[in-house]
Amino acid sequence: MEIDTHYINQIEIIINIFTIANGKIKILLFRRDEDPFKGYWMLPSNLLMTSETIEECANDTIYEFSGLKDMHLFQCDVMSKIDRLPNDRILANSLIGILDEETITLKREKRKITSEWFDIDTIPKTVYDHNDIIENAIKMLKNKIKNNELLNIFYPSDFTLPELQLVYEQVFNKKLDRRNFRKKMINLKIVEDTGDKNIGKNGRPPKLYRFTNKEQNFLDI
């Protein structure tokens, strides 16, 4: 195999890892501890090797940064501005990874790199163009949730309706009526009662629901 050097490209795979905790959508960022951009936050990333697929690279990268595995992954965006990094010409392929909270709780182990989950409405300063990448990923994530494509991955088991309502309120950016929200989710058969309750917290224990396996339902004409 011979390659014309005009066509040599380096590509970094960058992953936006989201989870939902107590109804708040969060993204996992890592602190950079060397200059330039020391103290800034960053998305996990690695250069793609010739011998691996993007999914393999993404999974390895996530594992290396966080110890987490087997995330639901999908394509998000590609950035190719020549000057997106100051010195090298490196393309960026950003992915979205979805983690359910249970998995995170189980795998909470100590890593060398400082990491933190940030609410998606309070993203800190990040290195290079990572703020643009994050902004774009949040947009795609919200759109997918609006189209009922993703919440069953955030919640593989059960959840309460008040928590789910918080998620929708963030995505649609408006307050929803508790009774109407409930009716809608149940009547449209998006969720179903598991019969269990979430005991242990303050106040009346909420019922637990699960997603039915209905296909995504788009805005119908």
Partner DNA sequence: ACAAAAGTGTTTTTTTTACACCCATGT
Partner DNA sequence: ACATGGGTGTAAAAAAAACACTTTTGT
**Which positions lie near a second copy, rule CB under 8 A?**
1, 3, 5-11, 47-55, 75, 77-78, 80-82, 87-89, 91, 93, 143, 146-147, 168, 172, 176, 181, 184, 217-221
Kindly state the number of chain residues that form the binding site for DNA, as judged by CB under 7 A.
Answer: 24
Q: Which two tokens stand for residue 45?
A: 């990333």
Q: Which two tokens stand for residue 33?
A: 């501890």
Q: Using CB under 7 A, which of 197, 212, 214, 216 touches DNA?
A: 197
In the list a second copy, DNA, none, the entry touching 147 (Cβ below 5 to 8 angstroms by class) is: a second copy
Nearer residue to DNA within complex by CB, 5 or 22: 22
Distance CA 196, CA 199 (A): 9
Residues facing residue 28 across a β-bridge? 117
Q: Show the binding pattern over residues 110-149: x = contacts DNA (CB under 7 A), - = does not.
A: ----------------------------------------
Long-range contacts of 52-59 (CB under 8 A, 24+ apart): 54/13, 54/93, 54/95, 57/13, 58/13, 58/15, 58/95, 58/97
In the list a second copy, DNA, none, the entry touching 135 (Cβ below 5 to 8 angstroms by class) is: none
Nearer residue to a second copy within complex by CB, 188 or 205: 188
Which residue type sits at 213? N
Task: For residue 207, state whether it binds DNA (rule: CB under 7 A).
Answer: yes
Q: Using CB under 7 A, which of 2, 36, 200, 213 touches DNA?
A: 200
Distance CA 215, CA 131 (A): 33
Residues that bind DNA (CB under 7 A): 160-163, 177-180, 182-184, 188, 197, 199-207, 220-221
